[in-house]
Amino acid sequence: MEAESPSGVAGKAAPGFEPKIVAFCCNWCSYAGADLTGVSRMQYSPNIRIIRVMCSGRIEPNFVLRALELGADGVLVAGCHIGDCHYISGNKEAEKQIARTARLLEILGVDKRRLRLEWISASEGQKFANTVNAFTKEVRELGPAGYGRK
Amino acid sequence: MSEKVIRRIIQDTHAFDCVECGKCTSVCPMTRHKKDFAPRLIVVKSMDSPSVEKLARERDLWACTTCGQCASMCPYKVDYTEFIRALRAEGAMLDVTPDCSQGGLLHSMMRVMAKGDLEQDRLGWAKPPLEVAEKGDIYHFTGCSRHMAQVFVGRQGIDIGSVPESAVRIMNAAGVVPAVSKSEVCCGHDLNWVGDEDNFARLVDRNVAAISATGARTVVFTCPEGLRTFSKDYPLVAEGELPFKAVHISELMVQWIKEGKLRFRETTGKVTYHDACRLGRHMGVYDPPREVLKAIPGLELAEMENIREKCLCCGVSGWISCDADTKLLQMDKLMEAKRTGADTMLTFCPKCQLHLHCAQADKVPVDRALIDIPVNDFTVFVANRLEEKG
Ligand code: SF4
Ligand code: SF4
């Protein structure tokens, strides 16, 4: 169900539009959190495609831009809570990187609400489901990003 | 199929005219450091086994910096840079893409600009006392230096983020209020040189429309890549004739200095000037930047050993193939600059600045004292030395 009119600008939601969302989850907390969501049989929006990374600090601006360029409507980055990073400070790096990327999106004119950073631990299955649902709803309202068209 | 394509490219770029004198190889900066690399070898290989796919999967097609040294020396005017570009475009059609620095971030940004409906913050810097207009005879192409500055935010000593405002300060001082446009997008240089012709064409259309809407007849560039792309590549892609001509800001500055419109403060110090390949070898703009520097009272210009057509390369072009050999090229460049005894090296190209900064920040294979010379932007440097209006 591809919506026709692409738009990076908020407020132009297309009826029947279902966003594609890429979620980068860190191996140690958020990916395990996503697992718990599934094992606990909690329902969440099927709009996300999870990519496991070793650490949220691995996410560079190009990951986000590349996802958008290939047709994603939103990008979620999820990592361990501050203080819990398996590599001590990777998530602090992620915070910096995502802020830097958000500013880049602003200069480019891409709505920065299309990028979200969340901390989700391995025990927070419910939080994972809630985050995905809320983010999907927000991106659905923003409408199609439209950078992936051929 | 492949054979025909390769044959056409060889013909178009006059590679058949080669008399094997070897001059191209002797000046190629890549040949200095890369084993078995020579511009002619790529042509020979393409004739021996005429497969675009095979060539595009090899190192050499992407290792060339398209600096144009070879073409500038060739007595028979073989156009290797175009040979390389055309072959890359054929490779791109087969989905063979190079390894790009920053994971292709710049190329992704350009594709987003080519395809999206964007509410750009391109002109956030254009605030009073700077004067810009929506329409006018002279258009200022602001370019992507702010985007690049944001990618490298936090690195010390990089000043490319203030290039657009510096250019406007200079123009305003000369009494010119340039038109600018929020709908302007990246010129597409890097996409063109990785062979992504479709998205390049989209950017061309967008820019031609945005600039035409201002009514401008002259487009002013600070960035050498933008100038080259608008002058040489846009006419091949745009529909119909371009309604404007592209000029470099240094050419206008020389004119304004002669007319007495642009004056500078007394300055002390010594600078050296790096001829970015797109501005020098590709566009032939060698003298105007030097004349501008000479017009700044008290400033000394110390030239490097290799300048103008022979100017050494910053090591990377099109944001492709940055590797260990690139770093060696950059060492050559920086050591030459340092030997002049100048306090800083100036260049118009934001990417030359980034590349050389990056080389200095890395582990270096030489004594650090031999390469520690600041690399700064020409436009910013000049704007900071304008005579204060009383
Ligand atoms: S363009 Fe530059 S790097 Fe490429 S072959 Fe010619 S001289 Fe060598
Ligand atoms: S400089 Fe020109 S003629 Fe000489 S070897 Fe190179 S391509 Fe051939």
pLDDT tens, position by position, B142-188: 999 889 889 888 888 889 999 999 999 999 999 999 999 999 999 99
The CA–CA distances, whole Å, from B264 to A54, B20, B164, B268, B374 equal 54, 49, 19, 12, 22
Based on the structure, what is the number of domains in chain B? 3
Q: Which of B119, B200, B110 is nearest to B147 (CA)?
A: B110
Q: Closest residue (by CA) to atom 3 of ligand 2? A: B18
Residue A9 located in a structural domain: no
At B28-46, the pLDDT tens digits run 988 888 888 888 888 888 8
Predicted ipTM of the assembly: 0.85
Q: Looking at the structure, tell me whether residues B228 and B267 fall in a common domain.
A: no
Does B341 have pLDDT greater than 90?
yes
Residue A1 located in a structural domain: no
pLDDT of the residue at A2: 38
Q: Looking at the structure, tell me whether residues B228 and B136 fall in a common domain.
A: yes
Please confirm whether the linkage preceding B129 is cis (ω < 30° from 0): yes
The mean pLDDT of chain B is 91
B115 and A149 in contact by Cβ < 8 A?
A: yes
Question: What is the rounded distance in angstroms from the CA atom of residue A114 to the CA atom of residue A110?
Answer: 8
Domain end position, chosen among B61, B93, B125: B93
* Domain ranges, residue B373: 263-383
Sequence-distant (6+) residues with CB within 8 A of A2 are none
The mean pLDDT of chain A is 90
Based on the structure, what is the number of domains in chain A? 1
* SS3 at position B148: helix
Type of residue found at B60: D
At B243-274, the pLDDT tens digits run 999 999 999 999 999 999 999 999 999 999 99
Read off the CATH number of the domain in which A24 is found: 3.40.50.960
pLDDT of the residue at A65: 94
Question: What is the rounded distance in angstroms from the CA atom of residue B219 to the CA atom of residue B227?
Answer: 9
Q: What is the mean pLDDT of residues B295-324?
A: 90
Read off the CATH number of the domain in which B88 is found: 1.10.1060.10
Domain end position, chosen among B254, B273, B295: B254
Does B285 have pLDDT greater than 50?
yes
Does B322 have pLDDT greater than 90?
no
Q: Closest residue (by CA) to atom 8 of ligand 2? A: B18
Closest to B104 (Cβ–Cβ): which among A9, A66, A100?
Answer: A66
Cα B43 versus chain centre, distance: 25
Question: What is the rounded distance in angstroms from the CA atom of residue B107 to the CA atom of residue B55?
Answer: 22
pLDDT of the residue at A1: 36
Q: Looking at the structure, tell me whether residues B59 and B165 fall in a common domain.
A: no
Given a contact cutoff of 8 angstroms between Cβ atoms, the answer to whether B133 and B336 are in contact is no
Output b/e per residue, B6-24; b: 16+ Cβ within 10 A: beebbeebbbeebeeeebb
Residue B333 located in a structural domain: yes
Q: Closest residue (by CA) to atom 2 of ligand 2? A: B74
Q: Looking at the structure, tell me whether residues B317 and B335 fall in a common domain.
A: yes
Domain end position, chosen among B51, B76, B93: B93
Closest to A65 (Cβ–Cβ): which among B108, B121, B124?
Answer: B108
B278 touches chain A (CB under 8 A): no
Residue B388 located in a structural domain: no
Ligand 2 is surrounded, with C-beta below 6 A, by B 18-24, 40, 73-76, 78
Sequence-distant (6+) residues with CB within 8 A of B254 are B288, B291, B292
Q: Looking at the structure, tell me whether residues B141 and B279 fall in a common domain.
A: no
Q: Looking at the structure, tell me whether residues B312 and B367 fall in a common domain.
A: yes
The parts of chain A modelled with pLDDT lower than 50 are: 1-11
Q: Looking at the structure, tell me whether residues B229 and B306 fall in a common domain.
A: no
Residue B390 located in a structural domain: no
Q: In terms of C-beta density within 10 A (0-12 exposed, 13-18 middle, 19 or more buried), how is residue B336 classed?
A: buried
| pTM assigned to the model | 0.90
Given a contact cutoff of 8 angstroms between Cβ atoms, the answer to whether B364 and B346 are in contact is no
